[in-house]
Amino acid sequence: VADQLLCVDVPIIDDNVYEENEVFSIFLSTPDFGVQLDPHYAVIMILDNDVVVVQFVTGSYFVSEGTNFQSVCILKEGEAEVAVSVLLTTMSLDDSMAEASDDFSPVSGIVTFSSESTAECKMIGIENDNIAFQENKQFMVAVTSARSRVLIGASNITTVTVFDDDMVVLQFSSSNYEVSEDNGTVTVCVTKDLETARTFTAIATARVFESDIEAEREDFVPATIPLVFPAGTVNTVCEDFRILSDEVALEGNEQFIVELSMPFFMTVQGMNVGLGSLITAANCTNGGNVVVSSALVTIIDTDVLTVKFSSTAYEVEEGAGSVRVCLEKDLDTDEDLLINVKASELDAAEARGGQDFDNAPLIMTFTEGQRMDCLDIRIFEDDMAHEKDERFMVQFTVLTPGVVTGEPNTSFVTIIDNDEPSPSVAIIG
């Protein structure tokens, strides 16, 4: 019998499972011991043509800068009997977008699906640069494959948008400021605690503070002053508010308030600004959009009131009944001023208290707007024979605290004798 070629068809079953190539063997056997089989078997390799498709779950992710991590997930479509690996890589879109290491942690690594797994996620670090008022930034994540039967789907790139959530906190450098009334200005400072990518403006407003020691508009100039914070590092902005000297003594220290606020338009522009808690008055909300913080300014009253006699000497005739003595003060006051006035003897050879003049203490009252006040000291007529003119002194003590005794603080009164000289007697011898 001539050589013959006989073929046998072996059915191959398509299992639709991604797997490694597989082999099996076909063996020949015969019941006829006279037949030699060589070779008696053949090895058949089944080349797997099944594929899996890998792609991102979504084409975009959104994350706040302060979140620290963003999970990026990949789907595997198709059944697999073996592990499937792909390469995941992060990249910046352009120079104006998110930068590796500054805004996110760069990733370039293998993501492996087990045979049972249909989804795998990779954590990408989000870096907080602590720079406020930046535009939102983006970077891309790409998935690629080196295997011909691991196909990458249409969603092979996903974009991660990083929202800037850094909040700038503004606060006064001090919760309380003190300034002397005669200083002319008080410097109020506000500090921002973060670097900013843009220049922005806050508003400082000086207004009357409702309290028992309220500063009126004669004590300071109400004003609204813009505080411009330039882009860049942490800095402090200071502005001066005018202090007025009212030349009113004994008024006590007074206060006014400086409020810190943000323009409404900054909310529209997406600038995130908080106003610090370094304040003495409670925070409140103004119109639902602008938070108000405040600091107190205390004006120290430095006006010094001086009281003195208007004259160093007075003259009065013995029969006039009284002498008017006047005191004057150099400033207005916020309260009445009480003064004790006392007439006293100079010495035994001069006018006698209770005999020539009334030496009882007298109380003088200066009202708030009064600059001069006078009182009458009684003069007694003694009907004695002609005598020399006599003097006594008048002194005062201010009963109200905080008043300086000026010069002259002693005045002298001369009583002019009005008695007729005694008639002369001639003796004729």
* Residue environment code for 265-278, b if the CB has 16+ CB neighbours within 10 A, otherwise e: ebeeeebebebbeb
**The pLDDT of residue 284:** 34
What does the pLDDT read at residue 283? Answer: 37
Cis peptide upstream of residue 222 (ω within 30 degrees of 0): no
Task: Return the amino acid letter for 207.
Answer: R
Beta bridge partners of 88: 109, 143
Main-chain dihedrals φ then ψ at residue 319, nearest 5 degrees: -90, 5
pLDDT in tens, 42-100: 899 999 899 999 999 999 999 998 888 999 999 999 999 999 999 999 998 776 578 88
Rounded to 5 degrees, φ, ψ at 320 are: -70, -20
pLDDT at 215: 59
Cβ-based neighbours of 152, under 8 Å, separated by 6 or more: 53, 54, 55, 86, 143, 144, 145
Percent of the chain with pLDDT over 90: 49
Pairwise CA distance, residues 410 & 391, whole Å: 13
Q: Give residue 237's pLDDT.
A: 93
Q: What backbone phi and psi angles, to 5 degrees, belong to 326?
A: -120, 145
d(CA 396, CA 405): 9
Closest Cα to residue 219, out of 239, 245, 240, 247? Answer: 245
- Other CB atoms within a 10 A radius of the CB of residue 21 amount to 9
Residues of the chain with pLDDT under 50: 212, 265, 267-270, 277-292
- Cis peptide leading into 361, omega within 30 of 0? no
What is the model's pLDDT at position 7?
85
Q: How far is CA 277 from CA 40, 160, 173, 250, 298, in A?
A: 92, 35, 11, 34, 19
Q: What are phi and psi of 65, to 5 degrees?
A: -60, -35
Q: What is the pLDDT of residue 267?
A: 45
**Which pLDDT score is estimated for 281?**
31
Which residue from 74, 89, 104, 71 is spatially nearest to 141, judged by alpha carbons? 89
pTM of the model: 0.66
Q: What is the pLDDT of residue 273?
A: 60
